[in-house]
Structure formats: structure tokens, C-alpha cells
């Protein structure tokens, strides 16, 4: 916990120094007062700092919080020398110094300032009050730790203080021994360090992020040992052992205590890793449990609670769900908790809070029960994220897609009408003119009779092609005779142009029934695209089509084929179909009308099913 608290302090300091470093980019002397006010305001919000300042490359401080006009130069400070000489890290913790303004012992924290070419331009720095840091460490550390503190990789002790007064500890000796132990185990962990009196100190230490600092807590071995002996002394009194045997037992006990200490330290390290993962995950992670009164409460929750719910996690831990959220959100969480407890599988749930967009939220929730003693689930671990923005964008994209498809259909209808009314009529007129010319010249002999006839044949062939394209763009039969008849026309034309055998079945109850124009057009386009996929990708010999409606008023259109092609696999078939926009277009057409489309690829063939509620469409 001390390492975590130290990490928060250092990360906050680095963020502040990064921010004020930007002040030097466009700095002018006329802006000095403005920047002093800004930095002073930043310093006043910090509970651990006494000064926030900027220096130039010569060490002269030109901007500082609560600036009193006195000149300050820091070129002799170790942190300035470190940055000026090209130290490896941009962020640095200096050696403790006395702050002259209030005579407090502080730890300078600094960040190198460079120009666009990476040249050294100065230092941004602030001071951390050692006393305030120690208070913070004591609050989060175990109360029975005899020593707590921070030490640099370079063996420099930054902070160390008694959490519990002890006359057995020697601060200088402990610092030296601990620095030596840190060299032996740089990744952190557990070591035994003798103090000045020769007593063994059990010292646990852990690295603080990437800041080349360790947090440590020291426990006297004798206190742990005495506590353990006190627990087993009643049992030893019942056993009649000689002094030699008792000595052996005590030595074994001492060994076991050491092993226990190592195990506890390893457990602590695992807990630090868990906490780091728990707090730094991008989702809001939480642990729900139930108290004796049956109230569901937050046993734990990470820092992302503030971003998602607007409430800091320390204000939620231990609080009942009903005390934090309004009735609707609380009921959603509690019901989800109950379902997760009863289920052995991962629970997925969604809940909309307010309108989608900038002011609302959409909770994407995951929960799973955590078994306690005897396998009885009493707690649930879960995660939740706000997907309102993504859903709003998805809805906007769907709306745009629907309008694009609608516009596409309008353009197709317009092109079909133009081809039929203009191009086809012009070709018909040209054919008639050629026939009149041939009739007028019939008494005369010559090869031109054959040329005129072939010209008429070409025109007639072009007329048929234009008529076919026009009908495919928008079949007039769909508007005039309805969906069933339009499907029959489509199937007949497809069979004439290919070697595929098609069987179309239309339920009797919808033979004479008309539906909304957008519904009929959507199903006709789906039929066109499905048959196109059969011709391009499936190499099927037989295709069955079915159009019907169930007793709930859902219109269903199904297309089944019997092949995926010679030497083809389901995987290659799936890749080919996904390359185009046809399947997506079919799905979006139905989705815009609150329908759904499913596609199944098997070794036996492909099945496409389109379903759409049409009770209100009936005419």
C-alpha cells in the first residue's frame, strides 16, 4: 500500500511538471505575471508541495509559485546537474534539502525541459514535504511496522520514520543494511536485515513504478517471534520436554517463522500486482457482496468509478447499492447480482441511463460469481463500461446507411424509368425508321437490304437488354402485382440465364397479400442478392426459396442451396461472401425496418433467412 500511495504522489507530480513545462514554449517577459498566477494556483491545490517553479538552462528560476521577487539559482542542485549533464531519465527525484522559506525538509522532484531539437533548456521542479509524505505512508501502512520509508536505487534514503516507537532500531544502520539488500534484490520482495544490536529485521520492499524508488516497511523479528511463541506456549507447557528438545523445537519454530515471513511477503507482492491491474484496467471493475441484512454493497471498486458514475471509489466502497444509485439503476445492479450468484456462467447485461448521446450512459455489464468457502458464491466480480458514444455512433451510421439504401433505390427507379421511357423508345423509333426506309427501297435491288435488316436485329437485341436491365433496376411488376409475382418473374429469368434449378414456394395465405412498398422492395433486393451469391460463389445445382408468414405476423424469406463449389471449403466460401457488400446491404435493409437476417454456411450448403414483423404492413 505504501508503494501504491508513493506511486500516486510521483505520478501526480510528473503530470504537473509536464504541464508547466509547456509554459516555456511561447514564453515572453510580458506573460510572466500570468504564468506566476497559474503556477501559484497549481501549487495551492497540492497538499505535499511548497513550491512549483521553472528555471532556464543556467539554473536561474524565472517563474515560481508565490514569487516574492528574490532571485533563485539552482545550478548547484543535484537534480539540475543531473538533467544538464544529460541524465538518462527526464523525471528525477533529488536528494532531500531544506526549503529556505519555511525551513522544512523537502524532496525535490524535477523534469528536464528541451526544445524541438532535444536541446536542454532548463528544469521544471517542485518540492515534496517529507513530513506530509510520511503522514500519507503511515495512513496506508500496517500500524505495527517499526520503520517505513522510501529509498532510491542509488542507495539514497529519501524518507524513513518510526511508525511505532522502538529503542531497538538504529536509523543509520538500517538504512545502510537496507540499501545493501536492495542491491541484492532489485525487483523488490523480502529480506532479513540485522540492526545495530544484531536483531533480525524483516523488511518488505516494493518498487514504485518506473521512478527508481523503493517503498519499504520493517518489522522486528523478535516481535514476530514473541507473538508466535505466545500463541504456542500453552501447548508447550503441556508437553514434558527436556531443555535440549525444547531448544530444537524453538529453532524449528524460528525457521518456520522465517518461511512464514517469506510466504507473507510473496502474498503481499501478489496483492500489489493484483491492485495495480485492478486499478489500471480501462473498465470500471468492482466487487459486489451481500451483508447479513440482505443488502447488496460494493466490497471494492477501482478508480474508474469517478469517470463512469461521477463518484470517487472511496465514497462507494462499503456502501449499499441503493444508497448510491437511483431506484432504476440500483434495481438493475441488484437483479444482475442475484442472477450472477445463481448462475455459474458469465452474465452479460445492458442498461440505458438517460438518453443516448452526450448526456446519457449505456452500461455494458459483465458479472461472474466468486465462490467462497464450501463453494457457496457470496460475492460477484464484474466490469462495466459506458458504450453510449459507440451506440450513438452506431445508430447514426445505421440511419445513414438506411438513407443511402433508400437513395440508391430512388436512383435505380429513376434510371429504370429513363431507360424505359427514353432509351428504349428512341431505339424503337430508330427501328421503325429503318423499316420504313427498307419498305421504300424494296423495289430496288442491292446489298443494302441485308444491312438494314441486320441493323434492325441489333436494335431489337439492344432493346431486350435495356428492358432486362430496367426490370432488374426496378421491376414494374413489384409495384403492379406485388412481391410473390415479382419473385416468380425473378426466378424464371434466373433459371433461363443459368443452369441452376430453382424451386419457389409461396405460402397460400400471402399469395394475394400486399405489404408496405419498402418491405416488398427489401425482400425483392434480398432475393436478388442471394441468387447473385449463389451464381458467383456457391456453384450450386439446386436452390429452394420460400416466402411465408408465421402466426406472430413475421414475414420470412428463406434461400437454401446445395453446394459451396468444387474443391471449396466453408472458410473460403465465408471469405468470398464477406469480401462484398451484398450481405451487409441485405442485413442493413432489414435492420432499418426492425428485421433481421441470418447466414449459415455448412458443408451441405448455404442458408439465408430474412425475417421482418409486418402486422402493421398488411393491406
Three-state SS letters, 327-352 = HHHHHHHHHHHHHHHHCCCCEEEEEE
Q: What is the domain count for the chain?
A: 5
Q: What is the mean pLDDT of residues 251-266?
A: 60
**612: enclosing H helix or E strand:** strand 605-613
**Structure confidence at residue 609 (pLDDT):** 92
Bridge partners, 106 (sequence order): 97, 129
Q: Which domain holds residue 533?
A: 478-619
* Residue 544 domain-assigned (yes or no): yes
Record the cell numbers describing residue 303, joined without a space. Answer: 478508480
CB atoms inside a 10 Å sphere around CB 210: 10
**The domain boundary residue, chosen from 474, 505, 521:** 474
Mean pLDDT is highest, among 11-15, 147-151, 483-487, for: 483-487
CATH number, domain at 564? 3.30.565.10
Instruction: Give the DSSP letter of residue 571.
Output: H
C-alpha angle 556-562-564 in degrees, rounded to nearest 5:
110
* Residue 441 domain-assigned (yes or no): yes
Instruction: Give the DSSP letter of residue 423.
Output: I
291 and 374 co-located in one domain: yes
Distance CA 449, CA 469 (A): 31
* Residue 456 domain-assigned (yes or no): yes
Q: Could you read off the pLDDT of 265-281 as tens digits, one per residue?
A: 666 666 667 677 777 77
Distance CA 452, CA 444 (A): 13
CB 544 within 8 A of CB 560: yes
153 and 270 co-located in one domain: yes
Q: Could you read off the pLDDT of 91-106 as tens digits, one per residue?
A: 888 888 876 666 677 8
369 and 315 co-located in one domain: yes
Residue 567 has pLDDT above 90, yes or no: no
Residue 260 has pLDDT above 70, yes or no: no
The pTM assigned to this predicted structure is 0.41
253 and 159 co-located in one domain: yes
* Residue 414 domain-assigned (yes or no): yes
**The domain boundary residue, chosen from 437, 458, 474:** 474
**Structure confidence at residue 259 (pLDDT):** 62
Of the candidates 43, 35, 56, 151, the one whose C-alpha atom is nearest the C-alpha of residue 112 is: 56
User: Higher-confidence residue: 610 or 118?
Assistant: 610
Lowest mean pLDDT among 128-142, 155-169, 457-471, 584-598: 155-169
Q: What is the mean pLDDT of residues 344-351?
A: 85
* Residue 136 domain-assigned (yes or no): no
User: Higher-confidence residue: 424 or 524?
Assistant: 524
Q: Could you read off the pLDDT of 159-181 as tens digits, one per residue?
A: 776 544 443 445 555 556 655 65
* Residue 212 domain-assigned (yes or no): yes
Q: What is the mean pLDDT of the chain?
A: 75
431 and 382 co-located in one domain: no
97 and 169 co-located in one domain: no
* Residue 135 domain-assigned (yes or no): no
Of the candidates 256, 285, 164, the one whose C-alpha atom is nearest the C-alpha of residue 218 is: 164
**Structure confidence at residue 494 (pLDDT):** 83
Distance CA 478, CA 490 (A): 10
Of the candidates 96, 216, 74, the one whose C-alpha atom is nearest the C-alpha of residue 145 is: 216
Bridge partners, 296 (sequence order): 290
* Residue 14 domain-assigned (yes or no): yes
Distance CA 467, CA 179 (A): 91
CB 382 within 8 A of CB 368: yes
Buried b (16+ CB within 10 A) or exposed e, 410-431: eebeeebeebbeebbeebeeeb
Strands 120-129 and 104-114: antiparallel
497 and 532 co-located in one domain: yes
Q: What are phi and psi of 592, to 5 degrees?
A: -65, -25
468 and 507 co-located in one domain: no
Distance CA 55, CA 84 (A): 12
Residue 117 has pLDDT above 70, yes or no: yes
491 and 616 co-located in one domain: yes
**The domain boundary residue, chosen from 357, 386, 415:** 386
CATH number, domain at 295? 3.30.450.20
CB 489 within 8 A of CB 506: no
27 and 94 co-located in one domain: yes
C-alpha angle 154-155-157 in degrees, rounded to nearest 5:
120
Distance CA 592, CA 272 (A): 50
Q: What is the mean pLDDT of residues 418-438?
A: 76
Record the cell numbers describing residue 126, joined without a space. Answer: 517542485
CB atoms inside a 10 Å sphere around CB 543: 26
93 and 172 co-located in one domain: no
Distance CA 243, CA 234 (A): 16
Q: Could you read off the pLDDT of 32-55 as tens digits, one per residue?
A: 777 778 777 777 777 667 788 888
Q: What is the mean pLDDT of residues 466-495?
A: 79
456 and 395 co-located in one domain: yes
Instruction: Give the DSSP letter of residue 198.
Output: S
Amino acid at each position: 500500500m505504501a508503494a501504491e500511495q508513493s506511486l500516486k504522489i510521483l505520478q501526480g507530480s510528473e503530470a504537473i511538471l509536464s504541464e508547466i513545462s509547456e509554459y516555456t514554449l511561447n514564453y515572453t517577459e510580458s506573460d510572466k505575471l500570468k504564468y506566476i498566477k497559474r503556477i501559484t494556483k497549481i501549487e495551492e491545490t497540492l497538499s505535499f508541495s511548497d513550491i512549483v517553479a521553472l528555471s532556464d538552462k543556467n539554473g536561474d528560476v524565472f517563474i515560481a509559485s508565490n514569487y516574492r521577487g528574490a532571485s533563485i539559482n539552482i545550478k548547484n542542485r543535484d537534480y539540475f546537474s543531473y538533467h544538464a549533464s544529460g541524465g538518462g531519465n527526464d523525471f528525477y527525484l533529488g536528494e532531500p534539502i531544506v526549503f529556505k522559506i519555511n525551513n522544512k525538509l523537502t524532496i525535490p522532484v524535477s523534469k528536464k525541459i528541451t526544445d524541438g531539437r532535444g536541446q536542454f533548456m532548463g528544469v521544471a521542479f517542485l518540492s515534496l514535504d517529507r513530513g506530509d509524505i510520511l503522514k500519507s505512508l503511515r495512513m496506508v501502512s500496517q500500524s505495527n511496522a517499526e520503520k517505513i520509508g522510501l529509498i532510491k536505487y542509488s542507495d539514497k534514503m529519501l524518507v524513513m520514520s518510526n511508525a511505532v516507537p522502538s529503542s531497538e532500531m538504529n536509523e543509520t544502520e538500517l538504512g545502510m543494511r537496507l540499501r545493501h539488500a536492495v542491491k541484492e534484490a532489485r525487483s523488490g520482495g523480502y529480506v532479513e536485515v540485522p540492526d545495530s544490536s544484531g536483531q533480525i529485521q524483516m523488511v518488505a520492499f516494493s518498487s514504485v513504478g518506473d521512478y527508481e524508488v523503493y517503498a519499504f516497511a520493517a518489522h522486528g523479528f523478535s516481535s514476530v517471534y514473541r507473538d508466535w511463541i505466545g500463541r504456542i506456549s500453552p501447548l508447550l507447557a503441556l508437553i514434558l520436554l527436556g531443555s535440549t528438545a525444547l531448544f530444537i523445537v524453538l529453532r524449528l519454530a524460528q525457521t518456520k517463522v522465517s518461511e512464514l515471513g517469506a510466504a507473507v511477503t510473496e502474498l503481499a507482492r501478489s496483492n500489489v500486482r493484483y491492485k495495480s491491474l485492478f486499478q489500471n484496467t480501462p473498465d470500471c471493475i468492482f466487487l459486489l457482496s451481500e451483508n447479513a441484512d440482505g443488502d447488496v454493497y460494493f466490497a471494492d471498486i477501482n478508480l474508474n468509478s469517478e469517470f463512469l458514475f461521477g463518484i470517487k471509489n472511496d465514497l462507494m466502497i462499503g456502501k449499499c447499492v441503493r444508497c448510491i444509485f437511483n431506484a432504476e439503476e440500483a434495481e438493475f445492479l441488484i437483479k444482475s447480482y442475484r442472477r450472477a450468484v445463481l448462475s455459474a456462467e458469465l452474465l452479460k447485461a445492458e442498461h440505458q441511463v438517460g438518453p443516448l448521446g452526450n448526456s446519457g450512459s449505456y452500461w455494458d455489464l459483465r458479472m461472474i460469481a466468486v465462490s467462497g468457502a464450501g463453494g457457496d458464491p457470496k460475492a460477484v466480480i464484474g466490469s462495466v463500461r459506458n458504450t453510449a458514444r459507440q451506440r450513438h455512433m452506431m445508430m447514426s451510421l445505421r440511419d445513414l446507411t438506411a438513407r443511402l439504401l433508400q437513395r440508391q433505390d430512388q436512383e435505380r427507379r429513376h434510371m429504370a424509368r429513363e431507360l424505359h421511357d427514353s432509351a428504349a423508345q428512341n431505339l424503337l423509333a430508330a427501328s421503325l425508321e429503318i423499316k420504313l426506309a427498307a419498305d421504300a427501297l424494296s423495289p430496288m435491288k442491292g446489298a443494302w437490304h441485308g444491312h438494314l435488316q441486320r441493323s434492325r436485329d441489333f436494335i431489337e437485341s439492344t432493346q431486350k437488354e435495356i428492358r432486362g436491365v430496367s426490370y432488374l433496376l426496378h421491376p414494374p411488376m413489384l409495384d403492379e402485382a406485388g412481391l410473390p409475382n415479382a419473385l416468380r418473374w425473378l426466378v424464371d429469368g434466373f433459371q433461363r440465364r443459368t443452369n441452376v434449378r430453382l424451386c419457389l414456394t409461396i405460402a397460400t395465405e400471402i399469395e394475394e397479400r400486399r405489404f408496405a412498398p419498402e418491405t416488398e422492395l427489401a425482400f425483392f433486393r434480398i432475393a436478388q442478392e442471394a441468387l447473385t451469391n449463389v451464381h458467383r460463389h456457391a456453384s450450386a445445382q439446386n436452390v429452394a426459396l420460400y416466402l411465408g408468414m408465421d402466426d406472430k405476423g413475421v414475414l420470412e424469406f428463406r434461400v437454401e442451396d446445395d453446394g459451396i463449389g468444387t474443391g471449396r471449403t466453408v472458410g473460403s466460401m465465408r471469405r468470398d461472401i464477406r469480401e462484398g457488400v451484398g450481405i451487409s446491404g441485405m442485413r442493413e435493409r432489414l435492420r432499418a425496418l426492425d428485421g433481421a437476417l441470418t447466414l449459415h454456411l455448412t458443408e451441405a450448403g448455404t442458408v439465408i433467412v430474412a425475417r421482418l414483423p409486418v402486422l402493421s404492413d398488411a393491406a
